[in-house]
Structure 1
Amino acid sequence: MTIARYFAVPMALLAPLAMAAPAHAGEVFGGVYKHAVATPLSLEGGREQGVDFQLGFRGGRLFPGLGLQPYAFGALNSAGDTSYAAAGLSWKFGKTLFVRPGLGIALHNGSAAKYDSPDRIALGSRILFEPELGVGYRLGDRSSIEAHWIHMSHGTLASGQNPGIDNIGARFNLGL
């Protein structure tokens, strides 16, 4: 199964939302992340390797003044480990310095097994929750940078196996 199939579902789910916003209101973003970082929220760190290269789109605000924006992105792992695509909603608080929490759903090509594996994180489900948090700085009218964290897990809803996975990195955002 190719990673392109994982991008298709989140993009199809967000297409109506992205089209509802003016074209100039969105932004593209890209980032580089350390893959499978050990944190208190994930039981696995270091079992998978490499960096994740991320590319995505964030639509315009859905409700004026609220700061709620739809997003979709894909992340490709350099070591051939778990790659994923996600779609969800994010909120931006602040202007020059900002915080951007988000919540989405991710599809991945890693192990969906419900048992441990010596070389892959057994995530227990193909579909995972994808909370994220960014702290950023606006560089100009159309550009900003963020320190960014992504967590993926199913919260033991799909099985008792729920190690989760955390990726930490940096994003560059460019307004359209």
Structure 2
Amino acid sequence: MKFAIAFLTGAAALALPATAHAQEIFGGVFVHGVNTPLTLGGDPEDGVDVQLGYRARPIAQLFGAKLQPYAFGALNTAGDTSFAAVGLSAKFGDSIYIRPGLGLALHTGSAGKFDNPFNDKIEFGSRVLFEPEIAVGARLAPRISAELSLVHLSHATIFSGQNPGIDTVGVRVNVELP
């Protein structure tokens, strides 16, 4: 757990640029608990997630993609699992683009081991989860873009044999800062 806290603190520090402003701020609304092949079964959670975050200025280019540290929080309006994540995304394209990302998240849901399939909470098996995501976006104005995004939370069976995970799907609006 100490390693996870140290990693998340370091990643958050990397996400803060030396200048006073992040490259983008973003916000979105996501459907919470969407069943996909990644979640491995039914999802007892529901509601809407309100997401707010930022992406720092690009720190590098890799295969033509801009690599950007990010940090965001997602608050679930139904009182189910909320989370905060930090990571690195890669933006391929400009007017129309694809943005995969990979991060770590801390969540408010159950960190217990899966032992009751009829529980009304997801038992994630760990407080720290991987947070892979993928978005498809389009530039709407010189400094404004919108994305359709899928965010997945799970621990990939690393911390226990079970791995229910959770997916959220929604729309983000990004505003580039000077």
Is the pair's TM-score, using the shorter chain for normalization, greater than 0.5? yes
| AA of the residue aligned to 2:60 | F
Equivalence for 2:80 = 81
Equivalence for 1:168 = 169
Given that 2:45 and 2:80 are in contact with CA atoms closer than 8 Å, whether structure 1 keeps it comes out as yes
| AA of the residue aligned to 1:52 | D
Larger strand proportion of the pair: 2
Q: Quick one: distance in 1 between partners of 2:135 and 2:7?
A: 20
Given that 2:15 and 2:71 are in contact with CA atoms closer than 8 Å, whether structure 1 keeps it comes out as no
Equivalence for 1:53 = 50
Q: Quick one: distance in 2 between partners of 1:49 and 1:153?
A: 17
Q: Quick one: distance in 1 between partners of 2:55 and 2:170?
A: 18
The aligned length equals: 169
Shift of 1:135: 0.1
Equivalence for 1:4 = none
Equivalence for 2:138 = 137
Given that 1:44 and 1:164 are in contact with CA atoms closer than 8 Å, whether structure 2 keeps it comes out as no
- Aligned pair in 2 of structure 1 residues 9, 86: CA closer, same or farther (>3 Å)? farther
Q: Which runs of 5+ in 1 are unaligned?
A: 1-7
Q: Percent identity among equivalent residues?
A: 57
| AA of the residue aligned to 1:114 | K
Q: Quick one: distance in 2 between partners of 1:10 and 1:84?
A: 16
Measured on the aligned residues, the alpha-carbon RMSD in Å equals 2.0
- 5 Å-filtered alignment, 1:15-30, equals 15-20=12-17, 22-23=19-20, 26-30=23-27
Shift of 1:14: 3.7
| AA of the residue aligned to 1:36 | G
- 5 Å-filtered alignment, 1:97-112, equals 97-112=96-111
* TM-score normalised by length of structure 2: 0.87
| AA of the residue aligned to 1:32 | V
* Structure 1 counterpart SS, 2:141: coil
Given that 1:25 and 1:59 are in contact with CA atoms closer than 8 Å, whether structure 2 keeps it comes out as yes
Equivalence for 1:124 = 125
